[in-house]
Structure 1
Amino acid sequence: MAAAMLGIALVSPPSSALFVLPPSSNSDWASPPTPFLLGASKASLSSSFHICRARVAWRLPTPRMVVSCSGSSQACLNPDANPELDQLRGKKIYRRDRQNVDLPAILPKNKKKPFPIPIQKMQRAARRDKKLAEMGIEKHLEPPKNGLLVPELIPVAYEVLDYWKVLIKGLSQLMNVVTVYGCSKCPEVHVGPVGHQIQDCSGTGSEQRRNHHSWVKGSINDVLIPIESYHMFDPFGRRIKHETRFDYERIPAVVELCIQAGVDLPEYPSRRRTSPIRMLGKKVVDRGGYVEEPKPPRSENCMSVLAELDTYAAQFEQPPLPASDTRRLAERTLKAYSTVRRGVRQLMKKYSVKACGYCPEVHVGPWGHNAKLCGAFKHQWRDGKHGWQDATLDEVIPPNYVWHLLDPNGPPLRTSLRRYYGKAPAVVEVCVQAGAEIPESYKPMMRLDIIIPDSEEARLVV
């Protein structure tokens, strides 16, 4: 009774007992007095009980860690010196594998996209650059911010460009085996033998069609959304103006990123600097002068190379493949897709890629162009200019999520069962239906562990 009044816990554990290691905050814990037991001597107490002297809680918080205590009281007094605790810290007790993952939320069109980098961090960097400029100190720039190439990323750029060609060629061949549909009224895409019956169309005349989609035969641009950018001979040279926008050719943003990262294509020449540029604040002090852009050759061989880099030239019909080669082609195409995304992510950590915060426009280079082509939310306030910010990987290579079919030959998808369906990028869905194995990274969003019930069974689900 007295021990309970004093807030002392006396236990008689076996040789390996469990006790809770409390937090080390002094505000929540108080040191108890020396423990004692009525009617028992010190010798009997020490022989009958293994007492771990610990701080006793006057209010019990949530325990943080369970520590294995051996028979030695010294190990209990200093749990940090316990070798079993060290082993426990180095082990993963639970595997935190994701089972089902929700897709990223669709951003509203009447708001600006969030900044990938916190605005406070950008403001601190701007104030630091402004302070150095006022002191007359030039900004220290590392490659490729100073116009020089990064030698370690040149092989990565060549690898991305090679797999980009494999991806385009593989998709153009797989679309002869896998059917792709696109809605003629909205951007919805479906991969399967027949279009789904989910009523989520928001295009023109959707009210008369009760939000049903108007399916037409799709193309490779519905699977791999083309994101183009202006090709610039000198990214640090003159900026593109609205009047001079037709003097520059538009190519896929992935190809332009590879060119600026060190890939040499005779069709798209690029300036390679030998001396770095110098900047004072936001002003370029020395860029090595302006160099006139050479005219690229336009022969038949050059046109064939350009056709491999653009999805618009891959829409021609190709002969169908045998069933034995279709699966290998699907696996090779899926590997090319993952390699391109991984390589582009690695290049974007060094090379600047800008995206408009209101529309899908992308520009590869340190500064965005000045073409007044933005027609998104409140473009009148900006005089049609883009709101440039740092781009993300999904803005350069949009995943274009589509509904996943567990059984392509089964019944079409229905609106009442849409919460049981999963989604996947369109490229992944095409390759999976062609016979490729589902990658581990896309399994959580496909909801493969969910059994789709019948319409009558779905009514009984709470």
Structure 2
Amino acid sequence: MLQTFSALSISGASCSQIDVRLGLVETKKDNLPALKSYSLAFQFKHTEIQKNGRTKLGICCCSEQGPSKRRHFKKQEEPTQNVDLPPILPKRKKKPFPMPLKTILQNARNDRKLAHMGIEKTLEAPKNGILVPDLVPVAYELLNSWTILIKGVAQLLHVIPVHACSECSAVHVSKTGHDIQDCHGQTSSNRRGFHSWIKGSINDILIPIESYHLYDPFGPRIRHDTRFNYDRIPALVELCIQAGVELPEYPSRRRTDPIRMIGRKIIDRGGFLDEPKRQQTLNSSLMEFDTHRAFERFPAPNSEEEVPQIAEKTLKAYDKVKWGVSKLMNKMYTVKACGYCSEIHVGPWGHNAKLCGEFKHQWRDGKHGWQDATVDEVFPPNYVWHVRNPDGPPLKSTFKRFYGKAPAVVELCTQAGAKVPLKYKSMMRLDIVLPDGEEAFSVV
């Protein structure tokens, strides 16, 4: 719609009479979303208006209403100098659930509601026992990276010394043990909190987490009196086997028909099958996937020039293992962990072996308190103090807040010559300067 206002004459002009007319042009757009905000845009332009045979100069104003365009500016994240590690959970308390408790209770209510109505629960692979074809290569890559990681750590232990406390679980990667008074062993009060250092092993760098091997994860549960009928293997290996890796020594049932459930009850699992006889081989492939006696099986590097290359290769394998475990677990391959101890079970349900001896185990008759596991519980990082100068003096309790930490594998590889990954720099506090000289006496 065009609105023309009365002419505005300008007196005292040398030129011919100039009329300034203001025209408002309004355009409407239909079918605009109701939830979007709109802005009013104006545009002015000069036009020539014919009136009574005379040409006059006019000004036209056009307006258009449309959705406003908001500019979103990305906030630049400042690089942090230090990152605090996850807090150490108290032993006399249950671990927190990885999923909010309200979500767990709501899912349980929905399952009970469907079971009360007799509606079958919809299960997707691999929850229904069917393999996911896209994750089979991930499982093979994870197992391959795990063997490379074991070999690399075992070779680096011949060059880089590792110390472990005989009273607690502390580990230190350096030529000598540190002097930080944070030991919580049984006789730590006699040593004023100082650690009792001994020579460390590969199990101090890669904490062994084992699980029962099951031919059919959806079969009968492991009871306390039948626990010796099942072998204990590394949890990573059992996760890869259930994800599609074929090992002759440890077969696994591959289902073609999915299982069916109503609520928490299985109505069709395809029957029970007896476990086939295992193929006995002279050179068991499981030795490659276990850290037992790895220090003896893998010799030291041939020369000092190979040490940085082995360190870089080991560090890449460590990242691939962590990536593979998180991907398999995020794709719904169920892993259960005890909420009180470090027991891990790979499968839809935990076992019934009464082996838990942690906080208030008498109330549970020794049974584990199963809940969903996290990646750090299946593949623990095992944080250790970062040593900037291995040839320098040992770390002291006075400068404890200035020191950083890193996973034991990362610390071992960086001292062997590997480049420090960017994601661990803030954790290792490399940008913080240690006080020296007169400043060191003022640190409390």
Normalising to structure 1: TM-score of the pair? 0.80
Among 169, 186, 203, the residue aligned to 2:151: 169
Superimposed CA distance per residue, residues 185-241 of structure 1 (whole angstroms, 9 cap, x where no aligned partner)? 110000001100111111121111111111000000000100000000000001000
What is the CA-CA distance between 1:453 and the residue it aligns to? 1.6
RMSD of Structure 2 on Structure 1 (CA): 2.2
1:331 match: 312
Q: Aligned equivalents of 1:326 and 1:79: distance in 2?
A: 65
1:365 match: 347
For the 8 Å contact 1:307–1:313, the answer to whether it is kept is no
Q: Give runs of aligned pairs for residues 16-415 of structure 1, distance below 5 A.
A: 81=68, 86=71, 89=72, 91-302=73-284, 305-316=285-296, 318-349=299-330, 350-415=332-397
1:437 match: 419
What is the CA-CA distance between 1:173 and the residue it aligns to? 0.3
| SS of 1:243 mapped into structure 2 | helix
For the 8 Å contact 1:416–1:455, the answer to whether it is kept is no
Q: Aligned equivalents of 2:140 and 2:217: distance in 1?
A: 19
Q: Aligned equivalents of 1:181 and 1:211: distance in 2?
A: 16
For the 8 Å contact 2:156–2:300, the answer to whether it is kept is no
Superimposed CA distance per residue, residues 262-312 of structure 1 (whole angstroms, 9 cap, x where no aligned partner)? 01111110000000000011000010000001121222122xx11110011
Determine what percentage of the aligned residue pairs are the same residue: 62
> Which region of structure 1 is more displaced relative to structure 2, 360-369 or 290-299?
290-299
What is the CA-CA distance between 1:79 and the residue it aligns to? 11
Q: Which has the higher strand share?
A: 2
**CA, structure 1 residues 71+420, in 2 after alignment: closer, same or farther (shift >3 Å)?**
farther
Q: Aligned equivalents of 1:383 and 1:214: distance in 2?
A: 35
Q: Give runs of aligned pairs for residues 417-436 of structure 1, distance below 5 A.
A: 417-436=399-418
Look up the equivalent residue of 1:437 and give its one-letter code. Answer: K
Q: Aligned equivalents of 2:300 and 2:316: distance in 1?
A: 22
Normalising to structure 2: TM-score of the pair? 0.83
For the 8 Å contact 1:417–1:455, the answer to whether it is kept is no
**CA, structure 1 residues 385+455, in 2 after alignment: closer, same or farther (shift >3 Å)?**
farther
Superimposed CA distance per residue, residues 386-418 of structure 1 (whole angstroms, 9 cap, x where no aligned partner)? 000000011001111000011111111001111
Q: Aligned equivalents of 1:240 and 1:170: distance in 2?
A: 35
Q: Aligned equivalents of 2:90 and 2:65: distance in 1?
A: 55
| SS of 1:190 mapped into structure 2 | strand
For the 8 Å contact 1:173–1:320, the answer to whether it is kept is yes
2:430 match: 448
Look up the equivalent residue of 1:401 and give its one-letter code. Answer: Y
Look up the equivalent residue of 1:311 and give its one-letter code. Answer: T
| SS of 1:182 mapped into structure 2 | strand
Q: Which has the higher helix share?
A: 1
Structure 1 segments of 4+ aligned residues over 6 angstroms from their partners: 70-74, 77-80
> Which region of structure 1 is more displaced relative to structure 2, 449-458 or 411-420?
449-458
**CA, structure 1 residues 71+441, in 2 after alignment: closer, same or farther (shift >3 Å)?**
farther
Q: Aligned equivalents of 1:115 and 1:321: distance in 2?
A: 47
Equivalent residue pairs, number: 386
What is the CA-CA distance between 1:139 and the residue it aligns to? 0.4
What is the CA-CA distance between 1:322 and the residue it aligns to? 1.2
| SS of 1:149 mapped into structure 2 | coil
| SS of 2:345 mapped into structure 1 | strand
For the 8 Å contact 2:224–2:352, the answer to whether it is kept is yes
2:53 match: none
> Which region of structure 1 is more displaced relative to structure 2, 318-327 or 341-350?
318-327
Superimposed CA distance per residue, residues 101-140 of structure 1 (whole angstroms, 9 cap, x where no aligned partner)? 0011000000000000011111111111111111111100
Superimposed CA distance per residue, residues 323-362 of structure 1 (whole angstroms, 9 cap, x where no aligned partner)? 2111111000000000000110000012000000000000
What is the CA-CA distance between 1:455 and the residue it aligns to? 6.9
